[in-house]
A and B are shown apart, each in its own frame.
Chain A
Amino acid sequence: MLRYTVKRLLFMIPLLIGITIICFAVIHLAPGSPTDMQTSLNPKASLEAKERLKSLYNLDKPLHEQYFLWLKRLAVLDLGNSFSPDRRPVLDKIAERLPITITINVLSMILIMIVAIPIGVLSAVRQDSFFDKATGVFVFVGFAVPTFWLALLLMILFGVNLGWLPISGIRSLNYEYLTPWSAFWDLVKHLIMPVILSAFGGLAGLSRYMRANMLEVIRQDYITTARAKGLSERIVIYKHALRNALLPVITILGLSIPGLIGGSVIFETIFAIPGMGQLFYMSVMSRDYPLVMGILFIGAVLTLLGNLIADMSYAVADPRIRVS
């Protein structure tokens, strides 16, 4: 296991370097220097802001020197200061908004698992049944639904017409006067729609994947052996087959991380949730350059970490991975 861990960590190094190069390329994507961009797009940018950008990215130095100076600051997580009037460090701004985004994404991931896995297993076990066909149609349509549109429809239905769920923010205005229990319930009510919607995109994919896995596992020899021993169908399916079909799900969950993080921009903007996605949207709209770059970098690093965790859990769950 140790060898595998070390190997996996070493594998991350080129990826991390690649991420920094792409981020750096994005900074320099603009025709002319980023300082010119800043002034032409944002007439309010003062000469001082221009100077700050220049010193932040060392734009007066040669390109390779710029990159290494920037890398040196990244190594100590110095992402510069925001251009917004408060001028706070980018890292602080991201750090205070990260927990809510991670909470929503983790909750959605749990929701994806508890809904998609049973659907996939059932439709495989009862292949070609009505249930299988119905979920097949549902999944196909699910792939095509723009989730932000679904969000609008649910907001109209549950927020505006029925008035059951709040449609913006994560807290009610009277939050401070609520008892702990009703404050918690208030938070839950605010999170129901965002969590369900951000899970929606992953549901279709995972349930199809689970179905395909299960169908493949059921055809294996050891399943025939289990049946031949006279084990009940229940034990064959849920003990022998399910365990093996579940393994690759870990990888799929890992792969769904960038989608979830990317989707947080849309949902947090629609539902006015003060997370990293909304912060990113606002920084893009106000062209708060250091903040945009900071979040882009952190988003990629989070994805990398998520994949690492997924790979490690796979290795824990399946010894074959560690050996080969």
Chain B
Amino acid sequence: MAVAGSVVVIFLFVISILSPWIAPYDPSAINLKKVLVSPSVNHIFGTDQLGRDIFSRMIWGSRISLKVGFVATGISILIGAILGALAGYYGRWVDAIIMRFVDIMLCFPSFFLILAVIAILEPSIWNIMIVIGLTSWMGVTRLVRADFISLKERDFVQAAKIIGAGDFRIIFSHILPNAMASVLVAATLGVAGAILTESALSFLGIGVQPPTPSWGNILTAGKDNIDIAWWLSLYPGLAILITVLGYNLLGEGIRDSLDPRLRD
């Protein structure tokens, strides 16, 4: 299954890198003679209300998903790993403050927090990536903290202390590499989550703004034409589903292969 997951992920990478060459049409070329054409040989996923080719828009949309997934997750992993490491390593009041902060952040329905921030800032792709990243680090923090609490008692950490290694070195070059398994799993699953969130935001019209194609904003057109053009709703959602499934499978696979103890 992990193989299937990585095939999907690699496939998506290839598509998004090659999108200018594989997309049969210009994704933003408006053709008013071909408005809402149902799927056919020329337009295998049909066209939208402006006559744009959905297949081409979806190929270009894969770039957005990839970008949002990786940047947002990068931000959340960075924050989560640092805060989790500090909390787990130092314990006491550092731990208390960081973990209360986690509790507070978890009180906010994350979608509410994202929307409120987007309402203030402009809904651009960069803002969305940052906001998704800033609201999704809490799980990583907890994971890394738990790893640090158990790892810091191990002999190799004691040994490092005895030879006089500083806290910084112990945290980043001795303990953190040993906590990478759970971070990597959390990152893979995090990409899936970020892609889902971005598509929901774009669907609501507060994410990636048209004419830039994203899977979520094609679905908005699907909702607007729900009674006449089912293809606008079906295909982009399937793409999201398969992508998220791919990352989830890959994450589970990494979990099983890197650290058998993490298996349920």
Residues of A within 8 A of B (CB): 14-15, 18-19, 22, 26, 29-30, 34, 37, 140-141, 143-146, 148-150, 152-153, 155-156, 159-160, 167, 212, 258-259, 261-263, 265-266, 269-270, 280-281, 283-285, 287, 289, 292-293, 295-296, 299-300, 303-304, 307
- 9 A-B pairs closest in CB distance: A149-B237, A262-B111, A262-B109, A18-B104, A144-B244, A258-B109, A144-B245, A284-B119, A152-B233
Docked pose: A270 CA to B180 CA in angstroms: 40
Min C-beta distance of B43 to chain A, whole Å: 19
Residues of B within 8 A of A (CB): 100-101, 103-113, 115-121, 192, 196, 199-200, 203-206, 219, 222-223, 226-227, 230, 233-234, 236-237, 240-241, 244-245, 248-249, 264
Docked pose: A34 CA to B205 CA in angstroms: 23
Known: A15-B100, A265-B204, A285-B205. A30 touches B120 (CB 8 A): yes
When distances are taken between beta carbons in the complex, the residues of chain B under 8 Å from A307 are 107
Chain A: CB-nearest residue to B101: A18
Chain A: CB-nearest residue to B195: A146
In contact, A152 and B237 (Cβ under 8 angstroms): yes
When distances are taken between beta carbons in the complex, the residues of chain A under 8 Å from B233 are 149, 152-153, 156
Q: Which of A146, A285, A296 has the most CB atoms of chain B within a 10 A radius of its CB?
A: A146
Contact of B109 among A29, A148, A299 (CB under 8 A): A299
Using A15-B103, A284-B115, A307-B107 as known contacts, list a sample of 11 further A-B pairs with CB atoms less than 8 Å apart, ordered by residue number in A. Answer: A18-B101, A22-B105, A26-B113, A140-B248, A146-B200, A146-B240, A146-B244, A153-B237, A258-B107, A270-B223, A292-B116
Docked pose: A292 CA to B114 CA in angstroms: 11
When distances are taken between beta carbons in the complex, the residues of chain B under 8 Å from A14 are 100
Min C-beta distance of A207 to chain B, whole Å: 14
When distances are taken between beta carbons in the complex, the residues of chain B under 8 Å from A143 are 244, 248
In contact, B108 and A258 (Cβ under 8 angstroms): yes
Q: Which of B115, B192, B219, B226 has the most CB atoms of chain A within a 10 A radius of its CB?
A: B115
Chain B: CB-nearest residue to A258: B109
Docked pose: A318 CA to B109 CA in angstroms: 28
Min C-beta distance of B210 to chain A, whole Å: 15
In contact, A160 and B226 (Cβ under 8 angstroms): yes
Known: A149-B233, A281-B115. A22 touches B204 (CB 8 A): no
In contact, B112 and A22 (Cβ under 8 angstroms): no
Docked pose: A288 CA to B213 CA in angstroms: 28
Contact of B226 among A29, A144, A152, A280 (CB under 8 A): A152
Chain A: CB-nearest residue to B238: A149
Q: Count contacts between A and B, CB distance < 8 Å.
A: 136
6 A–B contacts, CB within 8 A, in A order: A26-B117, A37-B120, A144-B241, A146-B237, A258-B108, A296-B108
Min C-beta distance of B21 to chain A, whole Å: 28
Min C-beta distance of A150 to chain B, whole Å: 8
Chain B: CB-nearest residue to A145: B241
In contact, A259 and B200 (Cβ under 8 angstroms): no
When distances are taken between beta carbons in the complex, the residues of chain B under 8 Å from A159 are 226
Known: A18-B104, A37-B120. A265 touches B111 (CB 8 A): yes
Docked pose: A296 CA to B120 CA in angstroms: 13
Q: Which of A149, A265, A307 has the most CB atoms of chain B within a 10 A radius of its CB?
A: A149
Chain A: CB-nearest residue to B192: A144
Chain A: CB-nearest residue to B227: A160
When distances are taken between beta carbons in the complex, the residues of chain A under 8 Å from B119 are 283-284, 287, 289, 292
